Amino acid sequence: MRNYTQFYIDGRFVDPITPRTAEVINPATEAVSGTISLGSPADVDLAVAAARKAFASYSQTSAQERLELLQTIQAEYARREEELGEAIMEEMGAPRPLACGFHTMLGSGHLNTAIEVLKTFKFEEERGVTLIRKEPIGVCGLITPWNWPMNQTCVKIFPALAAGCTMILKPPQLAPYSAQILAEILHESGVPAGVFNMVQGKGSEIGTALSTHEDVDMISFTGSEPVGVQIQKDAADTVKRVGLELGGKSAWIVLDDASLATHVAGATAGMMGNSGQTCSAGSRLLVPNSRMEEVKKAAAEAANAVTVGDPTGNFAMGPVVSKSQYDIIQGYIEKGLEEGAELVAGGPGRPEGLDKGCYVKPTVFVGTNDMVISREEIFGPVLVIIGYDDLDHAVEIANDSNFGLGGYVSGEDLDACREVSRKIRTGAIWVNGGFDFHAPFGGYKRSGNGREWGEYGLHEYLEVKAVIGWNPA
């Protein structure tokens, strides 16, 4: 049992002002795995005051000083990386190879990238008579989700530290353990008191307190569209900057060529990774109508090959994060059946042999783009295959969405893939795979605003100042 009942404020682990706790449920067993404290606006006030006080000195540190701090964190993160992975496996059900692999690697990757960017980043630039300065924006409220705990947390913390900002982290209530360990890592690494603070609790309380706080200069939020909308409204009265990375319903377009079945199988397996709990997942698979039977066969075989079970075992997919999330996904599967979508793999209920735990069958439908299962973010291992007549039709379907976070194009003709990628209205497109920590990530339309990752993520935490007359005319 884990018991994390203290917050991290002003360089110390402290008790909440008003004692109040909540149980954390292991989604694989549906048993209590630990306890956390739930904070209040009073705890937020203390954390913000500490961050405001620390900003006066930390914002004046040199890039070299901040670089040395990040490098110290780098060593401590590496020392405790396996421990972070075990916590992620327990808190949100990721299989051990994934939790101790890609999950924690994303965290270290964002740390390494912040270091790389900071080494060469120009905080001052002379343009004629004017000096352009890039200065830390101030005190930042960082609100993170449960689906990729280290990715979503580290992609905010480390660029903010590199920029010279101070911050208050509000981790996800469903997956709080890894954030607590990360706070210990930052503490042991010698982050100055007040620069990093953490308050656990409910988003409706802690998130609102941060979003409305007069002494918070910026909110960076990753999560659902409705919450992002509310944060913007809450932040409006104090005119603070708001960065939002919200939902997605990304299209994966597979070209009509000899590799179609291979690409369909890869897209299907990819959708089931992390139990489908990825905002940029290719949840709409767009394929040529003329080859639909071949597509259905390849997708069904790939989905049925995904093993599901205990995250501590040798399985490709674990549970979804909670019983409530399981129920939401089951509702969408039932809705797909009601709408007349063709079920080609998976379906309602748990996989065979699993009588407890929040396990969902890897599910594949064939449907149309006007169905609810094609319009709304399910956030589970549910793929919808949609047919297209030609590539212009595929692009039209891909862009017919309220979201615009990610997109995928697979095919042998690279020029055709590139042309399609230019036409899709989303913040990121993956052409035949690929990965880049320096590539900007963020959304069009209702998928949010602002960009994270690499140099673009550092810019999120900077203000731009013009000093006119720096040089004589």
Per-residue pLDDT of the chain (473 residues; tens, 9 = 90+): 999 999 999 999 999 999 999 999 999 999 999 999 999 999 999 999 999 999 999 999 999 999 999 999 999 999 999 999 999 999 999 999 999 999 999 999 999 999 999 999 999 999 999 999 999 999 999 999 999 999 999 999 999 999 999 999 999 999 999 999 999 999 999 999 999 999 999 999 999 999 999 999 999 999 999 999 999 999 999 999 999 999 999 999 999 999 999 999 999 999 999 999 999 999 999 999 999 999 999 999 999 999 999 999 999 999 999 999 999 999 999 999 999 999 999 999 999 999 999 999 999 999 999 999 999 999 999 999 999 999 999 999 999 999 999 999 999 999 999 999 999 999 999 999 989 999 999 999 999 999 999 999 999 999 999 999 999 98
Cα torsion 437, 394, 281, 201: sign: positive
Active-site pick, 86, 91, 225, 245: 245
Tell me the C-alpha distance between 345 and 366, whole Å: 10
245 is an active site residue: yes
Structure tokens given for 395: 């692009």
Residue 317 is given by DSSP the state: B
Cα–Cα–Cα angle for 339, 320, 8, rounded to 5 degrees: 135
Residue-level pLDDT at 25: 98
Structure tokens given for 108: 């270290």
In sequence order, the β-bridge partners of residue 130 are 127, 468
Query: What φ, ψ does residue 380 adopt, rounded to 5°?
Result: -160, 180
Tens-digit pLDDT profile for residues 23-49: 999 999 999 999 999 999 999 999 999
* Mutual angle of helices 177-188 and 149-163, in 10-degree steps: 30
Query: What φ, ψ does residue 131 adopt, rounded to 5°?
Result: -100, 125
How many other C-beta atoms are found inside a 10 Å radius of the C-beta of residue 248?
30
Residue-level pLDDT at 473: 82
Structural domain spans, the chain? 2-246+447-468, 251-436
What three-state secondary structure class fits 27?
Answer: coil
Could you tell me which of 362, 377, 372 has the C-alpha nearest to residue 315? 362
pTM for this model (two decimals): 0.97
Q: Which CATH superfamily is domain 2-246+447-468 in?
A: Aldehyde Dehydrogenase; Chain A, domain 1 (3.40.605.10)
Tell me the C-alpha distance between 428 and 411, whole Å: 17
User: In the chain, what percentage of residues exceed pLDDT 70?
Assistant: 100
Residue-level pLDDT at 235: 98
251-436: CATH architecture: 3-Layer(aba) Sandwich (3.40)
Tens-digit pLDDT profile for residues 222-263: 999 999 999 999 999 999 999 999 999 999 999 999 999 999
Could you tell me which of 383, 423, 376 has the C-alpha nearest to residue 286? 383
- Buried b / exposed e over 307-331, threshold 16 CB at 10 Å, is ebbbbeeebbbbbbbbeebbeebbe
Containing H/E element for 166?
strand 166-170
**Sheet of 462-468, strand order:** 124-127, 130-136, 462-468
Could you tell me which of 394, 397, 364 has the C-alpha nearest to residue 255? 394
Residue-level pLDDT at 262: 98
Cα–Cα–Cα angle for 101, 102, 106, rounded to 5 degrees: 120
Listed in sequence order, the residues at least 6 apart from 468 whose beta carbon sits closer than 8 Å to its beta carbon are 129, 130
Token pair 């990386």 is found at: 81
